[in-house]
Amino acid sequence: MYNEKVVDHFTNPRNVGELTDADAIGETGSFKCGDTMKIFLKVKDNRIEDIKFLTFGCGAAIASSSMMTEMVKGKTLDEAMEISNKDVSDRLGGLPPLKLHCSNLAADALHDAINNYRKSHEAV
Amino acid sequence: MTKKLIYMDHGATTPVREEVLKAMLPYFNEYYGNPSSLHAPGREVRRAVEEARQKTAAALGAKPEEIYFTSGGTESNNLVLYGSAEKRASAGHIITTGIEHHAVFDVCQDLEKRGHRVTYLPVDRYGRVSPADVEKAITSDTFLISIMAANNEIGTLQPVSEIGLIAKSKGILFHTDAVQVVGQLPLDVNDLNIDALSLSAHKFNGPKGVGALYIRRGTKITPLYRGGGQERKLRPGTENVPGIVGLGKAVELSVAEIPTKRAATEKLRDRLIAGLLKIDDVILNGHPEERLPGNINVSFRHIEGESVLLSLDLEGIAASSGSACSSGSLEPSHVLKAIGLDHPTAHGSVRFTLGLGNSDADLDYTLEKIPLIVERLRNISPTYHSRQ
Ligand code: FES
């Protein structure tokens, strides 16, 4: 059901874990299946210096989280904001139709983290 | 090196055993007559069909004329539910449970749309329905009680004999979907006061696409199809002869083996349950004792069932999460909801169903791999991290 790339990111997910000194945290959950994803960001000079994730979800959700973190590391916040859910699933070489919503978690969680970062940094 | 394969999804389907395949083969091209034909090739095949009917009847303590061959469990369930509802002059009342297989559940919902009333009885946290609840639910127009003999997902056995007695005392038709039980545990339709029973060959090492419906003599139901006299007009259509022959052979063998097979399967089951429960935060779903010999259903808290299945599959272990037929849905199963599991716990549920060919070596391998899989996935899980 999943292609090799998805299985690879599922079995060897990149950037798993928490950043205890994160500059921002993003979180999202799927209404459809109840699964959740948490993103930790370290930002330097408006660039994503480090990113980590934790995901409670299916194979597609774990693979999407992993792929998304690889895609945005080193990118500016603006560039990272541009990344869409579809970009993530495309980079994974596609997901089964029923599983597309799982990849939606990844970009949404990232955008949530960036928004949270901006909110807290505009405030100071 | 061929990839390791440990098949622990016998609740979904089972391999056809050699003896069954051998019995079926001649009926594809050697004995190819139509059992409705009067000539010798037809009569030859008719004899084989009737022999299979006898074997099926014998396995259930029924009479051969009470067995109707169908295409499987789904059709048998549909036939008895729609057929008994159709027979009535006016709408009536049906009693079932909230944890039936979709082949009963969906039909009940459809019958509601057609004006019938349906009571979906609750189950306790082990998945058992209470006979007292069945009795209380009966109304003057209750015409059918349909309660599965064992649940396909969590393996819980229902108190069929008590329910049968209640139904009998009120003169209500009692149907049980015994698809998971035939060939696993002894069943006698008279001892248990069962009026109708569905079974499916591919659940006991027979072929797919063939099943049977037992209906107690004298019970009136309306056929779903028209257009032929086969199966005493209740199920017209040229018989699936090789399938029926295979069903007969499979039911004969699997029922004869129950006494020896059951103890061995239960031993494996209990060993796997004990091994899984050694892992932190694992919950056994279903009844601790009153469960199918080969069924193990657990929830791995903080992780998701599909991730576990995928990881198991990569290690060569085939299991399932809930019912294979509902795996296309993202919602946790209605069964897991009915036993009161919260959403994340239901989502972490995995079913292992043991059967022919499973050994202690399979369990050794599985019990070695699972803790590693669970640990890996929990390391990725936000809820597991926040728990610590
Ligand atoms: S994230 Fe829930 S099914 Fe994929």
Over residues B267-319, the pLDDT tens digits come to 999 999 999 999 999 999 999 999 999 999 999 999 999 999 999 999 999 99
B196: left (phi over 0), alpha (psi -120 to 50) or beta: beta
For residue B315, which of B379, B370, B375 has the smallest C-alpha distance?
A: B370
d(CA A113, CA A115): 5
A56: left (phi over 0), alpha (psi -120 to 50) or beta: beta
Query: Which residues touch B231 (CB under 8 Å, ≥6 apart)?
Result: B68, B69, B239
CA of B183 to the centre of ligand 1 (A): 36
CA angle at B170 for the pair B165 and B175, rounded to the nearest 5°: 60
Residue A32: predicted pLDDT: 74
The string of pLDDT tens digits covering residues B212-256 is 999 999 999 999 999 999 999 999 999 999 999 999 999 999 999
Instruction: From the CA of A61, give the closest atom in ligand 1.
Output: 1
Residue A35: predicted pLDDT: 84
Q: Is there a contact between B37 and B160 (Cβ–Cβ < 8 Å)?
A: no
Residue B361: predicted pLDDT: 97
Which of A1, A9, A28, A30 is the best mutation target for the ligand 1 pocket, counting ligand atoms within 8 Å of the beta carbon and taking the most? A30
Question: Phi, psi at residue A35, to the nearest 5°?
Answer: -80, 155
Interface mutation target, options A56, A64, A67, A99, chain B, most CBs of B under 10 Å: A56
3-class secondary-structure state, position B333: coil
CA dihedral over B206, B207, B208, B212, signed as positive or negative: negative
What is the CB neighbour count within 10 angstroms for residue B282? 19
E-only strand ranges, chain A? 24-29, 36-44, 47-56
> Which two three-digit tokens encode residue A44?
């330097």
CA of B339 to the centre of ligand 1 (A): 22
Tell me how far CA of residue B265 lies from CA of A16, B185, B193, B354, in angstroms: 40, 11, 27, 7
- B382 → closest Cβ in A10, A13, A36: A36
Please identify every residue of A annotated as catalytic.
Answer: 33, 102
- A34 → closest Cβ in B311, B314, B344: B344
DSSP state of B67: E
What Rg value do the Cα atoms of chain A yield, rounded? Answer: 14
Beta bridge partners of B68: B213
Task: Please answer yes or no on whether B347 and A34 come within 8 Å at the CB atom.
Answer: yes
Residue A34: predicted pLDDT: 78
Question: Phi, psi at residue B22, to the nearest 5°?
Answer: -65, -40
B39-45 contacts, C-beta under 8 A, 24 or more apart: B45/B241
Distance from CA of B277 to the nearest CA of A (A): 21
Does the pLDDT value for residue B328 go beyond 70? no
pLDDT band for position A99 (cuts 50, 70, 90): confident
d(CA B247, CA A30): 44
Determine the residue type at B341. Answer: L
Query: Which residues touch B143 (CB under 8 Å, ≥6 apart)?
Result: B84, B85, B88, B92, B93, B94, B172, B173
Question: Please, what is the average pLDDT of chain B?
Answer: 95
pLDDT band for position B323 (cuts 50, 70, 90): very low
pLDDT band for position B327 (cuts 50, 70, 90): low
d(CA B204, CA B297): 20
Q: Is there a contact between B99 and B127 (Cβ–Cβ < 8 Å)?
A: yes
Residue B112: predicted pLDDT: 98
Which of A2, A35, A98 is the best mutation target for the ligand 1 pocket, counting ligand atoms within 8 Å of the beta carbon and taking the most? A35
Residue B120 CA, distance from chain mean position: 19
Beta bridge partners of B200: B211
Instruction: Show which residues on chain A lie within 8 Å of chain B, measured between beta carbons.
Output: 2, 7, 10-11, 13, 16-18, 27, 32-38, 53-59, 61-62, 98, 101
Beta bridge partners of B331: none
Residues of A in contact with B384 (CB under 8 A): 56
> Which two three-digit tokens encode residue B188?
């006698």
3-class secondary-structure state, position B138: coil
Determine the residue type at B345. Answer: T
Does the pLDDT value for residue B63 go beyond 90? yes
CA of A75 to the centre of ligand 1 (A): 27
d(CA B33, CA A3): 47
Q: What is the DSSP annotation of B155-186?
A: -BBP-HHHHHHHHHHHT-EEEEE-TTTTTTS-
The string of pLDDT tens digits covering residues B114-132 is 999 999 999 999 999 999 9
The string of pLDDT tens digits covering residues B25-60 is 999 999 999 999 999 999 999 999 999 999 999 999
Question: Mean pLDDT, to the nearest integer, of B133-158?
Answer: 98
What is the helix (H) or strand (E) element at residue B68, kind and residue range?
strand B67-70
pLDDT band for position A1 (cuts 50, 70, 90): confident
DSSP state of A14: S
pLDDT band for position A64 (cuts 50, 70, 90): very high
The string of pLDDT tens digits covering residues A12-57 is 999 999 999 999 999 998 877 778 999 999 999 999 999 999 999 9
The string of pLDDT tens digits covering residues B98-107 is 999 999 999 9
Q: Which residue has the tokens 């609840």?
A: B133
- Percent of chain B whose predicted confidence (pLDDT) is above 90: 93
- Percent of chain B whose predicted confidence (pLDDT) is above 70: 97
3-class secondary-structure state, position B280: coil
